[in-house]
Chain A
Amino acid sequence: MDVLLFTFFALVAIVGAVSLVVQKHPISSALSLVSVMVALSVLFLLLGAEFIAAAQLVVYSGAIMVLFVFVIMLLNAGAERESRKAGLAQFLGLPLTAALLVFASYVITQSMSNAKAVKFGAFTGGGPREVGWTLFTQYLLPFEVTSILILVAIAGAVVLARKEID
């Protein structure tokens, strides 16, 4: 069952990611990205990260993607036009990312020889209780710094969205 679930949702994630890159219209790309995020949240659940899976659904595919779709519709963004000014990325982009992928896979398979096998239910330390305990004891300072970051982001978003640039 683990293998079946992993294969299915990994395929959904990869197809969604390819569709995100290939689609011409931003709305189609946004909906593909939502499917990738939902598939990833199922994979998080398989890895025993219950709280992160829920947060992924609520924060990413809920809040952030709604923000994206909202901006796309607000700007009435149409399909992307072809442009000739592609530059170096057109020729080097695909080989370089393929090289990155091959290198990363090589390093992973070489260095992770003592990797565990993933079985659903084997790791139970990812519930809200454990995450909350670690977050508010060991990682209290980063958590508080994060609140300052969000405050700055709110102020920045408000200032940027209302002012005109000369």
Chain B
Amino acid sequence: MSQFLPPGFFTATVPLNAYLILSAILFAIGACGFLFRKNIITIYMCIELMLNAVNLSFVTFSYQFGKVDGQIYSFFVMVVAAAEAAVGLAIILTIFRNLGTLQIDEIDSLKN
């Protein structure tokens, strides 16, 4: 099997910057969705995507410095995201029950 693969296939390493740039790409896509989407639930999911991208950065830096601290931070980010999801989805439920819409540009009762 191994003679069909290029030399060094099993020993090649990935540069650390690739992980960081992947994290930046995911964050930018999440920010894009946050700006463009109009469904309040989808906007919420874009925020979760951005939190995940930041988690990837934390874990990557944890690898770079050989310490576990970055992973602890990403653990705390996860906990806060879980709490945020519970409260935010309760807010979405209340908004839908009172206003009957999930379109974020129709929820403008503070304007009038």
Contact = CB atoms under 8 A, between A and B. Distances in A.
Contacts of A164: 97-98
The majority secondary structure among interface residues of chain A is helix
- Chain A interface bracket (under 10, 10 to 19, 20 to 34, 35 or more): 35 or more
Interface in A108-126: 108-109, 112, 115-119, 123, 125-126
Contacts of A20: 29, 33, 42, 45-46, 49
A99 to B, nearest CB: 9
Nearest to A84: B105
Contacts, number: 244
Q: Considering residues A14, A109, A112, A119, which has the most beta carbons from chain B within 10 angstroms of its beta carbon?
A: A112
A117 B66 CA distance: 12
Given A21-B37, A43-B19, A115-B15, 5 more contacts: A13-B22, A40-B52, A40-B55, A142-B76, A156-B86
Interface of B: 9-10, 12-22, 24-33, 35-39, 41-42, 44-46, 48-49, 52, 55-56, 59-60, 62-64, 66-69, 71-72, 74-76, 78-87, 89-94, 96-98, 102-103, 105
